[in-house]
A and B are shown apart, each in its own frame.
Chain A
Amino acid sequence: DSGVTQTPKHLITATGQRVTLRCSPRSGDLSVYWYQQSLDQGLQFLIQYYNGEERAKGNILERFSAQQFPDLHSELNLSSLELGDSALYFCASSVDLTGGRTQYFGPGTRLTVL
């Protein structure tokens, strides 16, 4: 158990809908990262937050957004969902801004868009 929690574990929804994925980092970790894992693309970095502020963006679509709250939990919002958004979404956390070698991953949320 990494100490990172994610809810829900599974999510099934329809195209065009909007969903929110939630992540609670390890106790004491200030940095949160979101990743998407699909069969064809592998694990792709989406976005990073540090202590409530956005710090880095990766291959995140404009239909996706995220935020980190004062209690350090983070939410990833996916809207206007398409079939291709079906994937595993992971949250990772690290104690500081640099992360790098010490990112700990949660169990993931499996999103299925029908």
Chain B
Amino acid sequence: QKEVEQDPGPLSVPEGAIVSLNCTYSNSAFQYFMWYRQYSRKGPELLMYTYSSGNKEDGRFTAQVDKSSKYISLFIRDSQPSDSATYLCAMSGGDSGGSNYKLTFGKGTLLTVNP
């Protein structure tokens, strides 16, 4: 079983739709949860991060973490064509040294928002 599982999609939605992206994970040591956006041929761009369980909102984006279910989500409200990209979830362990600082990524979900 991979440490982080993410449905690769592709996901195609009309402009203005609410988008839900999800990841599951198996490593209970993960403490930090992130979402990155990657446009074609570009480097990943940090969108959101959350420490431990809970919700975090930033504009049209909401990140949710449920550690009991080992499940994280990213919601995009009022989606725009400019949101079309690959969305990657990423996780890392706590600050206890060793290789806990590395990011473990899902494979990414390709999202297309159609005008």
Contacts and interface: CB of A to CB of B under 8 A. Distances in A.
Co-complex (A, B)? yes
14 contacts: A4-B43, A35-B103, A42-B105, A42-B107, A42-B108, A45-B104, A90-B44, A99-B101, A99-B102, A100-B31, A100-B49, A101-B32, A103-B46, A108-B43
A18 interface: no
Interface stretch (B13-21, B64-72, B73-81, B91-99): B91-99
Given A48-B102, A56-B101, A98-B95, A2 B32 contact: no
A105 B44 contact: yes
The number of chain B residues touching the other chain, given as a range, is 20 to 34
Contacts of A104: 46
Contacts, number: 74
Contacts of A100: 31-32, 49, 92, 95, 101, 103
B105 A43 contact: yes
Contact of A105 (B43, B95, B99, B104): B43
Contacts of B42: 107-108
A92 B111 CA distance: 24
A100 B51 CA distance: 10
A102 to B, nearest CB: 7
Nearest to B96: A98
B43 A90 contact: yes
Nearest to B44: A105
B102 A43 contact: no
Contacts of A43: 44, 88, 90, 103, 105, 108
B45 A2 contact: yes
A42 B92 CA distance: 16
Nearest to B90: A43
B82 to A, nearest CB: 17
